[in-house]
Amino acid sequence: MIVEVKCKMENGRRFASTDRHCEERSNLNAVAYIVAIFFLLISSSSFAQKQSKKMNDKQIVIYQLLPRLFGNKNTTNIPYGTIEQNGSGKFNDITDKALYGIKELSVNYVWYTGALAHASLTDYSAYGIKPDDADVVKGRAGSPYAIRDYYDVDPDLAVDINNRMKEFEALVKRTHAKNLKVLIDFVPNHVARSYHSHAKPKNVIDFGAQDDVTKAFSAQNDFYYTPGQPFAPPTGGAKQTPITSLQDGKFDENPAKATGNNVFSAQPKYDDWYETIKLNYGVDYQNGEKQYFDPIPPVWLKMRDVLTYWTNKGVDGFRCDMAEMVPIAFWNWVIPQVKKVNPDLIFIGEAYNPKVYKQYLDEGKFDYLYDKVGLYDGLKRLIRNESNADVKDIRFVWQKESAGFGHRMLRFLENHDEERIASAGFAGKAELALPAMVVSATLGGGPVMLYFGQEVGEPGKGQEGFGEDDNRTTIFDYWGVPSHQKWMNGGLFDGGKLSTSQQNLRAYYQQLLKVTSTSDAVVNGEIYEVPVAGNMNNRMYAFIRYSGKQRLLVVANFDRTETLTANIEIPDQILKVKHSSPVKDLLTDKKLNIPAGTSIPVILAPVSAQVIEF
C-alpha cells in the first residue's frame, strides 16, 4: 500500500510520493542530492524528447464516435424514443470491418465518446442499476457528461449487460489489433446528481461519502453544499415532451450541492448544467477562489485513481472535458503521475480561453488543447461566407495566438458540441468546408479530428429529443444517424448505400488525410505565409509548409464566386530545401506542368484548395 505524504522540492512545489522515497531523499547529502537532481532532469528531458519525437513521427488523426449512435442500425427515430423503439449501438457493433473503414481515413486514434456509465432513464434494475430521476436527466438516454459511475461502462452499449466491461475490454483489444489507439472522456469537473459507484474497486471511497454536509465549503469535501436548503429542479424553459409525465419537479438532495457550471444555488436554472454537481478541487469559489491545495484534496487522489484504472484497461489517452474549470495545479500534479503508468498516454484538454493556452500546456502538462476559439471560429465564418469572414483570422492563430505551440493544438470542424457542417444552420452543404478542412489539416503538426458522419456529409437533421432540431447530432437520446447509416450499410461498413456525392466527399477526406498524416513538412516543418498576389482577397489564403525533406504550397480559396489567379513567388531560403520532381497536386495526385523557376502559377476555382508538392 502506498501512503501519500508531501515532500518539498526546491522550487516550493509539492508532489505526492511514498514514505520510502521521501526518507531516502532526505538522507542524501547536499552534493549527492544536487547530482541526483541533475541526472533526473537530464533523464526527464531526454525522455520528453524521445516521447515528443515518437508522437511527432506521424500526425495524430482522431476519429470521434459515440458507440450508442455509431453502430445503431435502427432507422425508426421517434423523438424521445426509448432504447426499444430507436435502438442503440453496442461496443460489439464496432467490428473489425468498422475499424478498417475508420482506418481508411488515416485515423490512428479512436475517441469512444460516452463509453462510461452516465445518468439515463433506461431501466436496468434487473442488473442492479436503477433508472435515474427524470428531473435531473437531459433526454432519455442522458448526457455522456453526467457520469454516474467512473468505474463502469454504459450498459446501453453491452449485448450482455453483466459482461459489459468485458465487451469494452474486447473493443479496446480489437482497436489495438488494428494498430489504432483508444481515447475516452475524462470528465473531472462534475458528476451526475445521482452519482454512486457500483463497480468501484475495493478500498475505493465514493465521492461525497465522507463529506461534512454542514459546511458550504471544506477542502476535505468532494462537493460544495448549500446547508439547510434542499435541491429544487429548475422550473421554466422546459417544454412538454414524452418524458414530462416522468417528472414531478422533485429530486431528493438535501442539502443541495452546487451545480456543475459553478452555480452555487439550491435551484439552478434550466439553461444550467442542472443534471450535474460540481466537484471540489480545493477552490473556495464563493470567497475569492481561495485555494487549499495543501494537504492534497481528496478529489485529486480519487481522480488520479480513476485515470490509473482506465489506463490499466489499455486506454491510450484522455480527452479532458472542460479542463479549464479544474485548477491547473491539479493537472500539473496528476498528468505526470498517470504517465508513470504509461508514458505514451496523451492528454487533450477541452479549452476555450486562448490567454491561458500556453499555461495549460506548459504548467498543466497537457499534450494538446482544442483550437476552437481561434481557428475553428474563424474558419466557420469563412465557410458560412459571413460578412465579417476574413483569412486574417487564420494568420492571427498561427502568428500570434498559438505562436510557438501550434503543433500542440487540436484542429477540427465538427465534434459533438458543434453544428454539423452540412446542417441548414451551418453551411448547408458539406463540400463548402473542404478548403477549411485542408487548412485545419496542414496549418500545424498537431492532431486533426473528424466526427463520425462528417466524412459523408451528415446534416444532423431532426428533433431527436432534448437537443431539439439544433443542427447537431444528439448526445442525449437514442437515435439513428442517417448518412452514417448509409456508410455503415447494415454492418458491412463499406459505404454501399452512399450517394455518388457522399462517396466523393469521403474519398476527398481519405486522400487529404493520407497526404497530411504522413507529410514531413506538415508534421515537422516550418510555415511561411505567402504574400498577397494576383487577385487574392480576404477570402483567399496561401502558405508554405517546408522541412528538410519536403516542400508544400497550400492554397485555399473560400470565395464563393471568384477564381483565385496568382503567381506565387517562392523565397530563396525555401528554394534551397529539397524539391520534388515532378511538381504535383497531392489532393488529386496529378502532375502539374509548371516551368522551372522561382514561382508557381495557381488557378484555383471558388471553394476549393490545393496542396502542391514542389
Mean pLDDT by 10 residues, the chain (614 residues): 27 27 33 34 36 61 98 98 98 98 98 98 97 97 98 98 98 98 98 97 96 98 98 87 94 98 97 97 97 98 98 98 98 98 98 97 98 97 98 98 97 98 98 98 98 98 93 98 98 98 98 97 97 97 96 98 97 88 93 87 98 96
Q: What is the DSSP string of 87-155?
A: ----GGGS-HHHHHHHHTTT--EEEETT-EEE--SS-BGGGTBPPPPGGG-STTT--TTSEEEEEEE-G
Q: Residue 268: helix, strand or coil by DSSP?
A: coil
Residue 532 to residue 142: CA distance in whole angstroms = 50
Residue 268 to residue 450: CA distance in whole angstroms = 34
Question: Which of 67, 88, 52, 337 is CA-nearest to residue 183?
Answer: 67
What fold does the segment set 525-613 form as a domain?
A: Immunoglobulin-like (2.60.40)
By DSSP bridging, strand 61-65 and strand 448-451 are parallel
CA angle 243, 140, 157 (to 5 degrees): 155
**Confidence (pTM):** 0.91
Q: What is the pLDDT of residue 40?
A: 34
Residue 390 to residue 400: CA distance in whole angstroms = 16
Q: What is the pLDDT of residue 577?
A: 87
Residue 20 to residue 580: CA distance in whole angstroms = 58
Residue 313 to residue 311: CA distance in whole angstroms = 5
Q: What is the pLDDT of residue 580?
A: 77
Q: Give the architecture-level CATH label for domain 62-113+160-186+371-517.
A: Alpha-Beta Barrel (3.20)
Ranges of each domain in the chain? 62-113+160-186+371-517, 525-613
Q: Contact 252/287 with Cβ under 8 angstroms?
A: no
Amino acid at 497: K
Beta strands in 321-447 (DSSP E): 346-349, 368-370, 409-412
Q: Contact 146/275 with Cβ under 8 angstroms?
A: yes
The residue written with cell numbers 453502430 in the block is 71
Q: What is the pLDDT of residue 55?
A: 46
Please list, in sequence order, all residues whose beta carbon lies within 8 angstroms of the beta carbon of residue 344, skipping any fewer than 6 positions away: 51, 54, 55, 316
Q: What is the pLDDT of residue 237?
A: 72
Q: Tell me, what DSSP letter sits at residue 205? A: P
Taking the alpha carbons of 523, 527, 533, 539 in that order, is the dihedral positive or negative? positive
Phi, psi of 301 (to 5 degrees): -65, -40
Q: What is the pLDDT of residue 34?
A: 34
Q: Contact 604/564 with Cβ under 8 angstroms?
A: yes
Residue 154 to residue 597: CA distance in whole angstroms = 60
Here the cell at position 350 is: 477541452
Residue 493 to residue 506: CA distance in whole angstroms = 13
